Amino acid sequence: MDEETKNKVILHGSFASPYSKRIEIALKLKSIPYQLVQEDLNNKSQTLLRYNPVHKKIPVLVHQGKPISESLCIIEYIDETWRNGPHLLPQDPYRRSKVRFWASYIQSHLYDVVLEVVKTEGEEQEKALTEIKEKLSIIEKEGLKEIFSDTNGEPIVKNETMSLVDIVMCTLLSPYKAHEEVLGLKIIDPEAVPGVYGWLNAINQTDVVKDVSPPYEQVLEFVRAFRQMSLSRS
């Protein structure tokens, strides 16, 4: 393997995927040059299927010719392989376990229910919205003090301090303003969950998130199209 191939980093991803976006954030935080291969999710490339034969999904990171799949696993690989830039997982084992726990909690309990709010209407939508508010309340009351234990629970986020849990939260909920505009609903209530509200806005103000985020109008267009398509199928 020549030196260029050995050091090459390729990301198979998609504009619309939060899982793909989180890998881009991690790579940029570490200042790692990479090639982005945009996959058509309705017509996946043979390369992607060969690299991820189990789930056949994006994202897939290819480094030194070897594929790594599943976004949380990829981020840990990036953090352990490139020691430059911020630590995406704390060095202290206890704090690292807390970051992993809350990243997993947010991914497991928020992503699907946010999609439900966008995809449905009426009672189904109300039920999903209530569930979001319940989960955000748990993060507000229990999560923030553990995630930001070194800042007394105050959500302070900068490029140099961004961690795995910030990245996961960002890629699942940072477009909340576009969701609220399209749906005509309040998803993140600054009075009910001021800490979560401040956390998301701090994340969105970081240079790296601004760099990977598409224009607001493009996000609006995507959310509208996704909602219309989902409602037409129901």
Q: What are the tokens at 33?
A: 């040059």
In terms of DSSP H, where are the helices of the chain? 3-7, 18-29, 46-51, 71-81, 93-119, 122-138, 144-147, 164-173, 176-183, 194-204, 207-212, 216-233
Interacting residues of 137 by C-beta distance below 8 A, sequence separation 6+: 192, 193
- Determine the pLDDT at residue 84: 87
Residue 7 has pLDDT above 80, yes or no: no
Q: What are the tokens at 48?
A: 């992607």
Domains of the chain listed by start with CATH number: 3-81 (3.40.30.10), 93-232 (1.20.1050.10)
| Closest alpha carbon to 139 in 106, 179, 188 | 106
% of the chain surpassing 90 pLDDT: 83
What is the mean predicted confidence (pLDDT) over 152-172? 91
- Amino acid identity of residue 125, one-letter, is Q
The pLDDT tens digits of the residues spanning 35-90 come to 999 999 899 999 999 999 999 999 999 999 999 999 999 999 999 999 888 999 99
First to last CA, the chain: 51
The pLDDT tens digits of the residues spanning 191-213 come to 999 999 999 999 999 999 999 98
| Closest alpha carbon to 29 in 214, 230, 208 | 208
Predicted structure pTM score = 0.91
What is the mean predicted confidence (pLDDT) over 86-114? 93
What b/e readout covers 157-166, taking b as 16+ CB neighbours within 10 angstroms? beeeebbbbb
